[in-house]
């Protein structure tokens, strides 16, 4: 299947890395450092794009851990693969709502700037719950508030016009009904950070 979202992101892949400023990297680095990542962890990066988080993650998890990026845009996944030919980095071209991983495979899951684009967010959350271990922390991260993100997508229009971070109540219900505990949401100008702990 090749839908309009895949086409949209395929078209952006070549220039995607140019979108990030040094300030973005610094802010991201700060956020990543606060996620509680430890050497040896196996981390899932959903909607990884060209692998913007890979270097930060792979340096912390080290050779005994791994970073697995998932993206359903072939061109994004291809660039991520090309950008990071390291033994502890894997890239899989697949949909977040149908993950080709065994139950309880990962110690942590992150989705940076990707969650609003998932066609079926509930199913993606359900899949994440399935493939992470009991007690694994899962994060939805953006460098803007939900309000800012949703407005940007409306302004861009086309395939992403209706892609949004749902209201807090919907998000809490989505994660709680998928058996996550300790759901916390920070949502203010310049940052959206949802954290939840998988409970099995
Ligand atoms: C805004 S980009 C963010 C990419 C990367 N995380 C970054 O911040 O540079 C969103 C990414 O999510 C991917 N994506 C959207 N829906 C997806 C899905 N259902 N399954 C896997 N990837 C998806 C897109 O192909 C795109 O690469």
Residues 26-77 pLDDT 10s: 999 999 999 999 999 999 999 999 999 999 999 999 999 999 999 999 999 9
Pocket lined around ligand 1, Cβ cut-off 6 Å: 5, 9, 47-49, 52, 70-73, 76, 95-97, 112-114, 117-119
Rounded-to-integer distance, Cα 21 and Cα 24, Å? 5
- Ligand 1, atom 10: closest residue by C-alpha: 114
Q: What are 97-140's pLDDT values in tens digits?
A: 999 999 999 999 999 999 999 999 999 999 999 999 999 999 99
Q: Residue 164's domain is classified under what CATH number?
A: 3.40.50.150
Domain enclosing residue 61, as ranges: 4-13+20-198
* Position in ligand 1 atom list of the atom nearest CA 16: 9
Provide the whole-model pTM.
0.97
Nearest to 56 by CA among 122, 99, 129, 108: 108
How far apart are alpha carbons 37 and 118 in whole angstroms?
A: 25
Per DSSP (E only), the strands in the chain are 42-46, 66-70, 89-92, 106-112, 132-142, 180-188, 191-198
Ligand 1: nearest atom to the Cα of 111: 6
Domains held by the chain: number? 1
Going by C-alpha positions, the residue among 129, 110, 100 that lies closest to residue 53 is 110
Give residue 115 CA to ligand 1 midpoint distance, Å: 8
Share of the chain above pLDDT 70, in %: 98
């Amino acid at each position: 299947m090749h839908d309009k979202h895949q086409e949209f992101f395929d078209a952006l892949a070549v220039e995607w890395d140019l979108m990030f400023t040094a300030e973005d990297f610094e802010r991201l680095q700060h956020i990543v450092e606060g996620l509680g990542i430890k050497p040896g962890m196996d981390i899932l990066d959903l909607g990884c794009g060209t692998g913007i988080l890979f270097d930060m993650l792979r340096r912390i998890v080290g050779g005994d851990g791994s970073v697995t990026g998932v993206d359903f845009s072939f061109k994004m996944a291809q660039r991520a693969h090309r950008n990071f030919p390291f033994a502890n980095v894997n890239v899989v071209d697949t949909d977040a709502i149908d993950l080709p991983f065994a139950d309880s495979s990962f110690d942590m899951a992150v989705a940076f700037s990707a969650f609003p684009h998932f066609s079926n967010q509930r199913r993606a959350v359900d899949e994440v719950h399935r493939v992470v271990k009991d007690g694994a922390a899962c994060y939805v991260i953006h460098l803007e508030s939900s309000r800012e993100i949703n407005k940007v997508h409306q302004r861009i229009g086309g395939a992403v016009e209706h892609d949004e971070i749902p209201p807090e109540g919907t998000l809490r219900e989505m994660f709680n009904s998928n058996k996550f505990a300790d759901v916390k949401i920070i949502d203010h100008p310049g940052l959206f950070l949802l954290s939840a702990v998988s409970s099995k």
